[in-house]
Chain A
Amino acid sequence: MSMFWSLIRRDIVLTLRQGGGAGMALGFFITVLVLLPLGIGPDLKFLQRLAPGALWITLLLSVLLSTDRIFAPDYEDGSLELMTMGPMPLELVALAKSVAHWLGTGLPLAILAPGLGVLLNLDALLFGPILLAMVLGSLALSLLACLGAAITVGLRRGGMIISLLILPLYVPVLIFGVSATNAITGVPELFGPSMLILTAISLASLVLAPIAAAAAIRAHMA
């Protein structure tokens, strides 16, 4: 277990230090959400309707932006080879790297979302639901991002391919995330089922994505 935490700790320290890229996703998230109302104009009703969808799409793209750096640095400096040798199973390595990516990227963005939602006139009633749905949904986003990164490890400029591979898998998270967020002001009965499906997506990714990612890395090392 201490091996698992040591990898998470190292990855988070690396994200926060120079050249780590924690600032990149955060900067992108904030920039888009600041520019959006300026571009759309001061129609408060329209902005309010737009807010949940805009926040979710921005979250998706911000997470995608940092995806190609999940495995690439370790692949380039030979660390990934040593990780493949063990003793920790490669599946757990992939899980640890996903969790570190979530803690360093997805979770901070989810926590900031209600605050930045104010710029889009997000209904105050939705602050709670959007935080909850984003914390849960961003975990699935990080796990799927890790899978994409594992498949494209070793490819130069793999970012574009990752987007093509991963965006279809992000669509359910987007649909049910927005649906859970909107439920309170729209159809309240939808909140429960949407959150349950979002949880199911996250749990399924938690189990399947690391296994698939490990298989992809093994295949690449051969």
Chain B
Amino acid sequence: MTMQLSAKNLVCRRGGRTVFSGLSFTVGQGEGLLLEGPNGTGKTSLLRILAGFGALETGSLELDGADDELTIGQRAHYLGHQNALKLALSVEENLSFWADFMGQPATANTIEERLDAFNLGHLMSYSAGLLSAGQKRRLALSRLELVSRPIWLLDEPSVGLDAASCKLLAAAMMRHMEAGGLLIASTHLDLGLTFTKKLNMGDVAERAP
């Protein structure tokens, strides 16, 4: 049985304001859902709800066809606005820690391969504090393929990336979907990637009274 993430009638309230309500969608294996819409329509809030930060107020969120009891968060990669990097550690140490912590320890060779996919292989022993903003983002992105998880929740993954790196990101997202992964991403930039589904958050957002 294939895995499917289905959301029904999700409601998000923040600080007394309803950000969105009645939000429903399904994402199956090999599918990508693009979250569109202007700022403040709840793209980040939705991704955070999916990752499991904060309890769901109303609506249901289910993962059908999953063969064990793991939560969505435990099966997902979440890449938010922050990169979750330690600047005092080297590029390799940063990745190797997350691989260990997420339960899939990686050898130096694997780490180098993943870094190469984002053109960072030559900086492996550098301190992460010496990287530029774009390089830090690429380092955070190489975590996605280092630890294999079926669901990717990406919030503006292309922030700070140059055109060449955006292509590498699109390629990684493509590989993930072709391998049967679920992808939910928000982006303002056209990555040259065809998403199976699109959700315009501007349409479900509550208009301010």
CB neighbours (8 Å) of A6 from chain B are 97, 100-101
Which of B51, B76, B82, B97 meets A10, CB within 8 Å? B97
CB neighbours (8 Å) of B98 from chain A are 82
Instruction: Give A88 to B80 CA distance when docked, in angstroms.
Output: 20
Q: Which of A11-19, A24-32, A112-120, A154-162 contacts B (4 or more CB under 8 A)?
A: A11-19
The answer to whether residues A84 and B53 also contact, given A7-B101, A13-B89 and a CB cut-off of 8 A, is yes
CB neighbours (8 Å) of B76 from chain A are 85
Q: How many residues of A contact B (CB 8 A)?
A: 26
Which of A14, A18, A73, A87 meets B102, CB within 8 Å? A87
Interface centre among A7, A76, A87 (most CB of B within 10 A): A87
CB neighbours (8 Å) of A14 from chain B are 86, 88-89
Q: Closest residue of chain B to A76, judged by CB?
A: B82
Instruction: Give A6 to B53 CA distance when docked, in angstroms.
Output: 24
**Interface pair A3/B101, CB less than 8 Å apart:** yes
Q: How many residues of B contact A (CB 8 A)?
A: 28
| A-contact 0/1 string along B26-68, CB 8 Å cutoff | 0000000000000000000000000111110000000000000
Q: Closest residue of chain A to B82, judged by CB?
A: A78
Would you call the interface of chain A mostly helix, strand, loop, or mixed?
Answer: helix
CB neighbours (8 Å) of B93 from chain A are 10, 13
CB neighbours (8 Å) of A86 from chain B are 70-71, 73-74
The answer to whether the Cβ of B23 comes within 8 Å of any Cβ in the partner chain is no
CB distance from B125 to the nearest CB of A (A): 15
**Interface pair A221/B54, CB less than 8 Å apart:** yes
Which of A7, A17, A78, A83 meets B80, CB within 8 Å? A78
**Interface pair A3/B53, CB less than 8 Å apart:** no
Instruction: Give A17 to B93 CA distance when docked, in angstroms.
Output: 13
Instruction: Give A79 to B94 CA distance when docked, in angstroms.
Output: 11
Instruction: Give A84 to B80 CA distance when docked, in angstroms.
Output: 14
**Interface pair A222/B53, CB less than 8 Å apart:** yes
**Interface pair A77/B83, CB less than 8 Å apart:** yes
**Interface pair B105/A78, CB less than 8 Å apart:** no
Instruction: Give A84 to B55 CA distance when docked, in angstroms.
Output: 13
The answer to whether residues A81 and B70 also contact, given A6-B101, A221-B54, A222-B54 and a CB cut-off of 8 A, is no
| B-contact 0/1 string along A70-96, CB 8 Å cutoff | 000100111101111111100000000
The answer to whether the Cβ of B199 comes within 8 Å of any Cβ in the partner chain is no
The answer to whether the Cβ of B84 comes within 8 Å of any Cβ in the partner chain is yes
Q: What are 24 A-B interface contacts by the 8 Å CB criterion?
A: A2-B105, A10-B89, A13-B88, A17-B88, A19-B88, A76-B82, A77-B82, A77-B83, A77-B85, A78-B80, A79-B86, A82-B98, A83-B101, A84-B53, A84-B73, A86-B73, A86-B74, A87-B70, A87-B74, A87-B102, A87-B103, A88-B101, A221-B53, A222-B55
Given A82-B101, A84-B73, 5 new contacts (CB under 8 A): A17-B88, A77-B85, A81-B78, A88-B101, A222-B55
